[in-house]
Structure 1
Amino acid sequence: MAKFGMELLNLLVFLCVLHFCNGSHFRGGSMSWKPIGNNFIKLKYKVGFKFNHEEPGFDRCTTDAQHDRTELSTSGKLECESCTEYDKMKDLKWICNDFEESEDSAVGYFTYIYHIPENNTEFDISYEHCCWINLESPIDKYGGAKGWKMLAHVDVSPRPDNGKINSSPVPANIPMEKFYKGCHYHLRIPVYDRDNDAIRCRYANEDKGECPADGNKKACGPNTDGLKINYKDCTLDFDTRNVEEGNHAVNVIIEDYIRPVKRKSQPLSKVSLLFLLYVERESTSCLKPMIIDPPSCKSIRPDEHFEMVIRAEPGDPWKPISKIRTQKPYGMRASQMVDDPDVPGRKMVTLRWYPTPYDLGEHSVCFSALDSDSYTSGLYCTFIYVERDPLQPVPEKSTPGEDDFIVAGETWIVKFNKQVNRPKSSAYIRIVNPETDKIAYQVDVTDSSVVYEDNMINFLPPREGLLMAASSMKIQYELQLDGGIAMPKEGGCASEPAKWIIGVRALKPGELQPPGGIGIGARPRDCNPTTLEIFVPNETVQDVKDCFLHLPEGAVDVIEQVTLTPYELCCPGSCEKDTAGKMGPPGHAGRPGPPGYM
């Protein structure tokens, strides 16, 4: 009998190794990758597990493990069929960076360096295992499934648009979100792309090898009633009226595309994002709490103090905010939730972090608010980019720089500390009178008159506008730059807001417009292809029409000081018809600046 009992025990242990008695502990995860150096990529995965899960070969998260960044073990493996022999199979380790014991939740991450296989620039890395926490959806949807699959499709061939090596999108881990039955929700999938590519989201597809290989027992594809993924904007619409109560697993594939996306465009890469939606009983109200104006991306230098305040207010005034949940990178601390002193009913939590050089790279902090009935706001995430040199304007190298004067009519240049791209959404450059707060000029940087080149933004305010209200030949302004007027070409967050004091002045009597003052951003006219243009103060020419201005004989040496404009110079209609649009006789000069300029 004792022998039989030992044999039975051995059989049970063997079955456990085959995962038949594996605990239900998986709560979601994601993958991303980026190239580093020659012939290597860095793969980063994020995972969520039950905090209280116990199983042979699985290390739980503890306060000490979190503090020491201990490498913890799981029973999973990372596989790469096309990789080098050394990289084909790797133990799935994790470093716990946050946990919530009351919600039985722990999240962590790990990174591996992969050598790019010789003569093989395209391959898949995947993590396929068991088991999800209990899924309550109908048997015909999941078939009693427990398995999951995360993957990253890597392609390190040069991009066709710029010849550089691509980086994948970076999704944020989504903790289990709770929703009431009978309501409709619109949710954003939090994702960031280092290359500012177009992002698309869809369900994982079994025909493309994106689902776990356990027959019909898998949590994959469109298996949740009422849930729709909006492909183009990476959002979810979730109508819970006919949805089973309980946990619902969602397996999303995120792809990046070169802009603009065309019908036959192919994705540059793809990565997985897996998460849970929990539907509970019906509620008397579908008004959900709100997170107030969370930033989407923040840049910070290592060894600098970072602080961010999260504010939330209830959707239903009879259901006050009970909790602000956070999912944070290692070392970030959240304060106790307190009342916002400025807005009754609003709550706030302050996040503080002091990243070290070890933290260089991308991180995400995600947060949601719960009301007194445990109704969630939905998940919001801020991507935090720890870098030694965040994108920022450089006033001392700009034109005009801080406390510098510029001649009205010259091109303005805002220089940055690295190369920049134009943003996809509106942001403004403003020239403001600091005494009256009146805007003298503003321009949306998405307008084609604003030129982006290398590390510069060039624009040309109208001459007449800046000196119209001046009581003297010069006036002081404040140059104000919205946050987001520039995107870095190679990873990181958009530029932060900036401002500095500048001055605008008129030309002095006898002074010529400096060469190069007109050009970028100028408005074309339908006359001659090019024109030599000289600006003459109004007080010098008085009532003489500009068509009759000409250079005196022997004044050819001043040609070195005139401005060559790329737009046409037309004579006003008050001049003779046959002179309109013509340079006139040799020595003919251009018109003076517009009224109000001088």
Structure 2
Amino acid sequence: MLTGMKLFSLVDLVLAVILLPSVTSHFFLGGTMSFEPVDFEPGDEFILSDILWKFRFRAAWNRSDEYNFCNQSIISSQVLLGDSHPENAFYCEDCEYDSELALGTAQYICSSYSKEEDWSAGENVFYVNFSSSNPVIYHYDCCWISGLLTYDEDYGLLYDRYYALLATFASMSAFRPDTGTVNASPVSAVIPLMRLRTGCEYSIRIHIEDPDGDLTRCRLAEESECEDGCVGKYGLNFTLLQQSPCVINFQPLEAIQGLHPVSLMIGDFGSDDQLLSYVSLAFVVDVVHGVGSHCTAYVAFEKSTVADGTCIGIEPNATFETTIYVKEEPCSSVIDIVLSAPVGVNRSDIIGQSPHKEMTIMWKPEPYQYGYNLLCFQASDDYAMYTEQRCITLVAGAAAFETVPQSASFNGSDAVPLSTASFTIEFDNDVFLPSVSRNITMSKTHLSDVLLDSLEVLVAFDTSVSELVNTTGRVLTFVLPVGIQLEQSTYYSIEIGFGAVVSKRPCSGGGVPFPGLDNWKFKTSI
């Protein structure tokens, strides 16, 4: 560990992934890139050349290409996809490296795919040291997906545009006095291809996390940042509804049916509202003719599916698991549940009896994946339409959950008055209500020196929606419903279920779920 602290002025660092046309059969469907310092802690002396930077990219290509074919077996084997030629790599300009020296391969490890939409997507990382202040990291390749439509104000609709630019531009603060460390860029992800119907209105939230907890904003990319991948905004008839959080409003027109590129720039801002970095996010929108009144799929996520924007910490060596539940409307079927996922995520088959289907996702992060990882998912139906996209944040390698109960309003041998209607429990840090359905249950019980076996459930609260449950700072409070009253000389047990409250640590949104409490017990007075 280096000691001491030295302040440096801003260092301009430009990181770009540039894709240019060549003779090829593989086609680009979007992606993103981010960076973060490795093993730099507050209090370390800042020396630019001593900092190791980790670059992570996620990209999607057509699955029908021989270099990009992916299935579940390939995901499990974690083999590299993409052209294996040594020149398929990232390079650097305006830095101390030879411009022909490869910094890292542009091949990727597949983590998700879609048979119906013909895409494979995955991630990879590479590590770089810099001593120059203005390096440009780039990768030349080709092309946007065949049949892409863009719109030019002078020339109208254009077809098969090739140039694409996937970039991370960072005016990176060499040292940040507000955090005592150096900056890490925002992290974002999206399903590579979204299908929208003409005559419908859509608002799509772009999920963003910032490892430093910085304010993030998004904007439409300019031509110098995305080449032909950004001028589609005119033909798509969309507007940036919000910058923070990032929401795009689409109202596709009948005349522009087909594939369109969408390119955004996502920036993070320090405590003085100074721009620290921009990362790009690109994906494809497929506009199809609207039929009937449905603007989304004839299937929908059920309430028990993890909510969009949820943030979950995963302890070192632990495995994350969640189940996606989908309900089918009459005369419709779930065809697939597609993912945009970190490397190593495994999925089960879709099982269940109509109208209820489900699929389980499991992930045990590797040490190099510790930090912020985004997982997005959509379900598709037999009309080739999709549900809304949901994205969650998985903080791999997060410390053990530290929020623990400190005291309760009634506990152990306390004789609780029969008139009691309100219960509180205080934790060691601030807690919040979850965005997905979780429960607190109160039951009448048998008396035992060892345990209290449940006799009868008196009341159950869904903490995500119940008006009888609230949190204020460290305190959780819930109130018995009207008509529910305690009985004299009776033993009760309260169970706070997994995730019934959440902590904001270490996530900037959503929350890490409380692991649960099942031994809160008491007896009423005579």
Please say whether Structure 1 and Structure 2 have the same fold, judged by a TM-score greater than 0.5. Answer: yes
Would you say the 8 A contact 2:216–2:244 is kept in 1?
yes
Computing the radius of gyration over CA atoms, which structure comes out larger, 1 or 2? 1
- Which letter maps to 1:224? G
Q: Is 2:520 the counterpart of 1:499?
A: no
The correspondence of residues 46-445 of structure 1 with structure 2, limited to 5 A, is 46-53=58-65, 59-61=67-69, 66-74=75-83, 76-81=88-93, 83-85=95-97, 90=103, 91-117=105-131, 120=133, 125-127=137-139, 129-134=141-146, 135-138=148-151, 140=156, 142=158, 145-154=161-170, 155-206=172-223, 209-212=224-227, 217=228, 219-220=230-231, 222-230=233-241, 231-258=243-270, 265-289=273-297, 290-293=300-303, 294-295=305-306, 296-314=310-328, 317-339=330-352, 345-357=355-367, 359-387=369-397, 389-395=399-405, 398-399=406-407, 413-415=426-428, 434-435=443-444, 436-437=458-459, 444-445=470-471
Instruction: Please state how far the C-alpha of 1:355 moved relative to its aligned partner.
Output: 4.5
CA distance in 2, matches of 1:35, 1:236: 30
Q: SS where residue 375 of structure 2 aligns?
A: strand
Q: In the superposition, relative to structure 1, how do residues 399 and 200 fare at CA in structure 2: closer, same or farther (>3 Å)?
A: same
Instruction: Please state how far the C-alpha of 1:284 moved relative to its aligned partner.
Output: 2.2
Q: How high is the TM-score relative to the length of structure 2?
A: 0.70
Would you say the 8 A contact 2:195–2:286 is kept in 1?
yes
CA distance in 2, matches of 1:358, 1:310: 26
Give unmatched runs, 5+ long, in structure 1: 1-16, 451-456, 462-467, 506-598
Q: In the superposition, relative to structure 1, how do residues 62 and 412 fare at CA in structure 2: closer, same or farther (>3 Å)?
A: closer
Instruction: Please state how far the C-alpha of 1:273 moved relative to its aligned partner.
Output: 0.7
The correspondence of residues 450-469 of structure 1 with structure 2, limited to 5 A, is 450=473, 457=474
Q: In the superposition, relative to structure 1, how do residues 494 and 242 fare at CA in structure 2: closer, same or farther (>3 Å)?
A: same
Instruction: Please state how far the C-alpha of 1:432 moved relative to its aligned partner.
Output: 8.1
Q: Is 2:33 the counterpart of 1:31?
A: yes
Instruction: Please state how far the C-alpha of 1:405 moved relative to its aligned partner.
Output: 7.7
Task: Please name the residue that 2:455 is paired with.
Answer: none
Instruction: Please state how far the C-alpha of 1:244 moved relative to its aligned partner.
Output: 1.1
Q: SS where residue 168 of structure 1 aligns?
A: coil
Q: How high is the TM-score relative to the length of structure 1?
A: 0.63
CA distance in 2, matches of 1:100, 1:160: 45
Would you say the 8 A contact 1:428–1:444 is kept in 2?
no
Identity of aligned residues (%): 22
The alignment covers a number of residue pairs equal to 449
- Which letter maps to 2:127? I
Would you say the 8 A contact 1:302–1:386 is kept in 2?
yes
CA distance in 1, matches of 2:205, 2:189: 11
Q: In the superposition, relative to structure 1, how do residues 339 and 407 fare at CA in structure 2: closer, same or farther (>3 Å)?
A: closer
Instruction: Please state how far the C-alpha of 1:376 moved relative to its aligned partner.
Output: 1.3
Q: SS where residue 224 of structure 1 aligns?
A: helix
**1:164-187 deviation digits (Å, cap 9, x = unpaired):** 333222112422122222222222
Greater per-residue strand proportion = 2
Q: SS where residue 210 of structure 1 aligns?
A: helix
Q: SS where residue 164 of structure 1 aligns?
A: coil
Higher RCO by CA contacts (8 Å cutoff, separation 6 or greater): 2
CA distance in 2, matches of 1:167, 1:503: 46
CA distance in 1, matches of 2:314, 2:435: 24
CA distance in 2, matches of 1:387, 1:367: 22
Would you say the 8 A contact 1:319–1:372 is kept in 2?
yes
